[in-house]
Every structure is written in structure tokens, then in C-alpha cells.
């Protein structure tokens, strides 16, 4: 059975989740990849927010508190009515955001990070300390996932390029699985450890 979560998500609801739990996510979330994470850390967390970036900072600060960021470089088309539509919305590899993710979770009050492949110790520690989870999306199902994107609310930093921009989207029943929880558990670490044990056994070590 899947747990239904609606953004903004409370810390209590996040703490109730454990690795292996299936989640159906609804509400307004943001996409953000390499350029977006680097920008957030350097401009807002480590740097002094320039006056020209204050509006976006306020949008992110409000939208990410209790919210979710999705590691995704979407394929987007502009309809005849001028509105954007997601054509494909598959997850990108999350480990590239490892240098930034813990700081983003702490500063913006994130409750969830969606991607594929998992993340490492710094992100896991941030999830445990601040009450967040890593949610694994289905790789290779970009078109299917795009069906859960019901509306493009806004786009920010489009000058980064379509894949790297902040897309603010409303999703309904976005399917994902908890693979890093707020209790220090990582399914990715467990799988890696099991794989190493099995390899050692095969090699007779």
C-alpha cells in the first residue's frame, strides 16, 4: 500500500516513513539539477543574496519549506495557448548533487528529494538531522511520470537552459519509493554492501 503525501509535508509525516515505503506525492514541487543546486548554494547559502535575486529567493524559500525538489531535466513543449507542458520528466542521477544537497535541505527546510541512484553520507546525515527523505523515481519511465505533472506553475532561471531551470510544477500521485529515510537508513548502502559480500563469496575471499 502506498502512503499519500501532499506538499507541504510535516516532519511528523516524514519521520513515519522508512526505506521501502511506497509514496504517491501530490502538490507543488520544484525541479532542480546541477546548475540550480550550485546556484542556490553559492548565491543564497554561502553568498549574500543580490537584490536582483531576492524575488526568486523568496519564491524558493516559501515553496521549498516543507517541500520537495526533483532531480529532473524535463522535456518541455510550449502549447499554442502559451502554457508549458511536460512531455517527459524522468529522474536524473542524484549523486552529482551530493556536494550541495545537505546544505539545501537545511537552509530551505526541504522534506523530500526525488531522483535516481541514491545519494551519499552527507545527504543521509542531513535527512536524519532535519527530517527529510530521498525518494527514488522510476528510471526509464519519463513519459509515464510526465502524466503526473498536471500543471507548470512557473519557470525560473530559464537562462540556465530548459533541463537546468527551476520548473515549479503541480503533481498528482507522483509515484516513488523511499530509499533513504530520516532514521539513517539507506537502501543504496544496503544493496552495495550485499553486492560486495556476494562478490567476495564468488571470488572465494
Q: How far apart are CA 82 and CA 170, in angstroms?
A: 17
Which position among 18, 37, 130, 136 bears the catalytic label?
37
> Domain coordinates of the chain in residue numbers?
3-202
| pLDDT per residue of the chain (205 residues) written in tens, 0 to 9 | 889 999 999 999 999 999 999 999 999 999 999 999 999 999 999 988 999 999 999 999 999 999 999 999 999 999 999 899 999 998 999 999 999 999 999 999 999 999 999 999 999 999 999 999 999 998 666 788 889 999 999 999 999 999 999 999 999 999 999 999 999 999 977 655 554 454 445 556 5
Query: pTM for the full model?
Result: 0.90
* Terminal Cα distance for the chain, rounded: 40
CATH 3.20.130.10 fits 3-202, yes or no: yes
107 a catalytic residue: no
Instruction: Give me the DSSP letters along 92-135.
Output: -BGGGGHHHHHHHHHHHT--EEEEBS---HHHHHHHHHHT-EEE
Amino acid at each position: 500500500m502506498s502512503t499519500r503525501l501532499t506538499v507541504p509535508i510535516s516532519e511528523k509525516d516524514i519521520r513515519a516513513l522508512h526505506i521501502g515505503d511506497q509514496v504517491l506525492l501530490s502538490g507543488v514541487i520544484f525541479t532542480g539539477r546541477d546548475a540550480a543546486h550550485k546556484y542556490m548554494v553559492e548565491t543564497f547559502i554561502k553568498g549574500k543574496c543580490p537584490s536582483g535575486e531576492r524575488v526568486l529567493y523568496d519564491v524558493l524559500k516559501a515553496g521549498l519549506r516543507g517541500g520537495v525538489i526533483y532531480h529532473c531535466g524535463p522535456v518541455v513543449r510550449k502549447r499554442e495557448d502559451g502554457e508549458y507542458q511536460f512531455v517527459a520528466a524522468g529522474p536524473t542521477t542524484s549523486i552529482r548533487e551530493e556536494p550541495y544537497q545537505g546544505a539545501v535541505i537545511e537552509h530551505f527546510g526541504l522534506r523530500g528529494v526525488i531522483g535516481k541512484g541514491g545519494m551519499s553520507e552527507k545527504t543521509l546525515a542531513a535527512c536524519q538531522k532535519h527530517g527529510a527523505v530521498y525518494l527514488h523515481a522510476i528510471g526509464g519511465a519519463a513519459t509515464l511520470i510526465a502524466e503526473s505533472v498536471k500543471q507548470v506553475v512557473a519557470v525560473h532561471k530559464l537562462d540556465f537552459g530548459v533541463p537546468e531551470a527551476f520548473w515549479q510544477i503541480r503533481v498528482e500521485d507522483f509515484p516513488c519509493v523511499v530509499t533513504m529515510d530520516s532514521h539513517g537508513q539507506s537502501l543504496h548502502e544496503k544493496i552495495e554492501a550485499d553486492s560486495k559480500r556476494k562478490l567476495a563469496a564468488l571470488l572465494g575471499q
